[in-house]
Amino acid sequence: MDTSPTHKRGDTFHSDFFMAWDPIVHELWEKNCLDKMLNCSTGDLGNGQRIKQSWEANWTANPRLVSLN
């Protein structure tokens, strides 16, 4: 990764990715999301299908104090 001071913030990109998906699902995701440059978050496959989540999505805020000790 180039950290040259001549680059603006956001000019470089780094990501770690460990593929553990079923090959068929991965192919669908790559073809329908990556190749079409779609934002396929929360398991969206870009074709009207979605992978099954291991948790129930909840968009309600649940603010709470957390100890820093």
Answer yes or no: is pLDDT of 37 > 70. yes
User: Stretch 26-48: mean pLDDT, rounded?
Assistant: 91
- Distance CA(1)–CA(9), nearest Å, equals 13
pLDDT of res. 38: 92
pTM: 0.51
pLDDT band at residue 32 under the 50/70/90 scheme? very high
30-62 residues labelled b (16+ CB within 10 A) or e (exposed): eebbeeeeeebeeebbbeeeeeeeeeeeeeeee
Per the model's pLDDT, the better-predicted residue between 5 and 35 turns out to be 35
- Distance CA(45)–CA(21), nearest Å, equals 12
Per the model's pLDDT, the better-predicted residue between 50 and 1 turns out to be 50
pLDDT of res. 2: 54
